[in-house]
């Protein structure tokens, strides 16, 4: 209370700093039900793909993974992601007073991520895997990092390691030729 103007106390109008719990945005209404529906759909698509892939003939060549391997990995990923969405606990968030709903930020971030992916696909044909992929990973790190925490060196190291590791797995382990680009 401020009593500098006389004998009547006036309320202090200095806002108190928000606590971490108060700073977290509230989840939009219906988010959990949409997550569960998405989880069911993803799990069902993955399960259907696994059933379909079981009917494909295996490759007769020794050491050849055949046409089922990559789609099978994606199908298992769909099932696991669907289960994660179904079994994820309810988030506990407390909205700060006057906080804007997170919907607009999510739409903008989704649009930016889609632009990065489209740019990556376009750059693959021009510059090749070993140039486009680290740039894609760096752009993703930059976009998804918090303001004030954009650390270039760890992101660059991660981009180099992931690019080299995935490139090695595809080129040596799977004997798949990666895009070389025009250069």
Please report, in tens digits, the pLDDT of each residue of the chain (183 residues total).
555 555 555 555 555 555 444 444 445 555 667 777 888 888 898 889 888 888 877 766 776 677 777 788 888 888 888 888 888 766 555 555 555 555 556 778 888 888 888 888 888 888 888 888 899 888 888 888 777 777 778 888 888 998 888 888 888 888 878 888 776
Question: Can you give the pLDDT at residue 92?
Answer: 53
Whether the model pTM is above 0.75:
no
Return the residue matching tokens 């060549």.
61
**CA–CA dist 118, 91 (Å, integer):** 32
Question: Can you give the pLDDT at residue 110?
Answer: 82
Question: Can you give the pLDDT at residue 101?
Answer: 54
Question: Can you give the pLDDT at residue 21?
Answer: 46
Please return the burial class of 21, using the count of CB atoms within 10 Å of its CB with bins 0-12, 13-18 and 19+. Answer: exposed
Check if the beta carbon of residue 108 is closer than 8 Å to that of residue 66: no
3-state secondary structure of 2: strand
**CA–CA dist 4, 25 (Å, integer):** 37
**CA–CA dist 118, 123 (Å, integer):** 9
Distance of CA 91 to CAs 83, 97, 168, Å?
A: 16, 19, 39
Distance of CA 24 to CAs 15, 67, 93, Å?
A: 17, 45, 6
Task: Using the CB atoms, write b or e for 68-106: b if 16+ within 10 Å.
Answer: beeebeebeebbeebeebeeeeeeeeeeeeeeeebeeee
Question: Can you give the pLDDT at residue 154?
Answer: 82
- Give the domain ranges of the chain: 28-95, 102-183
């Amino acid at each position: 209370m401020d009593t500098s103007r006389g004998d009547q106390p006036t309320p202090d109008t200095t806002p108190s700093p928000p606590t971490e719990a108060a700073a977290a945005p509230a989840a939009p209404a219906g988010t959990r039900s949409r997550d569960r529906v998405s989880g069911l759909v993803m799990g069902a698509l993955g399960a259907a793909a696994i059933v379909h892939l079981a009917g494909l003939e295996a490759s007769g060549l020794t050491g050849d993974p055949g046409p089922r391997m990559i789609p099978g990995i994606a199908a298992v990923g769909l099932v696991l992601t669907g289960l994660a969405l179904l079994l994820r606990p309810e988030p506990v968030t407390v909205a700060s007073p006057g906080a804007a709903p997170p919907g607009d930020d999510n739409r903008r971030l989704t649009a930016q991520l889609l632009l990065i992916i489209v740019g990556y696909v376009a750059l693959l044909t021009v510059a090749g895997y070993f140039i486009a992929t680290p740039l894609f990973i760096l752009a993703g790190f930059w976009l998804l990092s918090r303001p004030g925490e954009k650390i270039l060196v760890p992101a660059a190291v991660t981009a180099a390691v992931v690019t080299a590791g995935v490139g090695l797995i595809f080129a040596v382990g799977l004997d798949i030729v990666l895009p070389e680009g025009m250069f």
